C-alpha cells in the first residue's frame, strides 16, 4: 500500500511540475501538500478510504493535464500537427527570423517547418524552449533524428521539420549564435501557453 501511495505522490509531482495546480489534501489524521515537487507530509495514512480518495484525486489531476492524458492514450500521435513555417533569414540576406514571435499551446502537436532561403547558414537556437517540449522527431532530407534537440543548423537552401509537443509554459528566447547574427537582430521569442 505504501508503494502505491508513493507512486501516486510521484504522479502528482510530475504533473504539477508542468502546471500550476497546488492541491492540499486532508484525510482524518493525514495531511500532505504538493507544491511543485516539494512535499510536506504529516502522519501516516491508515484509513483505506483516505488512500482511495487520494488515488482518485491523483487520476483526476493526471487526466486534467492534456499532454500527459493524450500521450497515455496514444491520441497525441494520431493528432495531426499544426504546421508553422519559420524562415531563417531571407533572399535579401537580412539577418532575422520570419516570424520572430511564435506561440504554442501546451499539449498540442506541432510541426515547425524551418527554411533557409538565404546564401549563408543560420541556427534556430532556443535551448530553454527545447527543454520545455517533447520532441517526436526532426526530419531533414532523408534523415530523421529523435531525442532531445537544442538547436538546428540550416545551411543555405536547407529545410527541416521539427515535430514536437510543448509541455512547459513560459516565454523563451530564440537566437542565431553565429558571430554578429544575434547582434544584427536575428532574435525572437517563443511563448508556450
Same domain, yes or no: 101 and 169:
yes
User: Does one domain contain both 48 and 97?
Assistant: no
- Rounded to the nearest 10 degrees, what angle do helices 48-63 and 66-73 cross at? 90
Residue 183 clears pLDDT 90, i.e. is over it: yes
Segment 57-110, tens digit of pLDDT: 555 444 445 555 445 446 778 889 999 999 999 989 999 999 999 999 999 999
In a domain, 70, yes or no: no
Contact 70, 107 (CB under 8 A): yes
Are both 93 and 169 inside the same structural domain?
Answer: yes
Cell numbers describing residue 13: 509531482
Pairwise pLDDT comparison (65 vs 165), residue with the higher score: 165
Structural domain range at position 111: 76-192
**What's the first-to-final CA gap in the chain, in angstroms?**
37
Provide the domain count of the chain.
2
Amino acid at each position: 500500500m505504501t508503494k502505491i501511495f508513493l507512486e501516486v505522490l510521484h504522479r502528482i509531482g510530475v504533473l504539477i511540475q508542468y502546471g500550476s495546480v497546488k492541491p492540499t489534501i486532508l484525510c482524518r489524521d493525514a495531511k500532505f501538500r504538493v507544491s511543485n515537487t516539494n512535499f510536506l507530509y504529516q502522519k501516516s495514512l491508515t484509513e483505506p478510504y483516505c488512500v482511495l480518495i487520494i488515488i482518485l484525486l491523483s487520476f483526476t489531476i493526471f487526466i486534467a493535464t492534456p499532454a500527459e492524458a493524450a500521450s497515455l492514450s496514444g491520441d497525441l500521435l494520431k493528432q495531426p500537427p499544426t504546421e508553422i513555417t519559420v524562415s531563417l533569414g531571407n533572399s535579401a540576406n537580412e539577418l532575422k527570423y520570419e516570424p520572430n514571435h511564435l506561440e504554442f499551446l501546451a499539449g498540442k502537436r506541432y510541426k515547425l517547418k524551418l527554411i533557409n532561403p538565404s546564401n549563408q547558414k543560420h541556427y534556430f537556437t532556443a535551448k530553454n524552449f527545447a527543454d520545455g517540449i517533447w520532441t517526436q522527431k526532426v526530419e531533414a532530407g532523408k534523415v530523421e533524428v529523435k531525442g532531445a534537440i537544442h538547436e538546428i543548423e540550416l545551411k543555405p537552401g536547407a529545410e527541416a521539420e521539427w515535430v514536437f509537443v510543448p509541455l512547459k509554459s513560459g516565454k523563451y528566447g530564440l537566437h542565431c549564435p553565429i558571430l554578429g547574427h544575434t547582434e544584427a537582430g536575428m532574435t525572437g521569442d517563443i511563448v508556450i501557453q
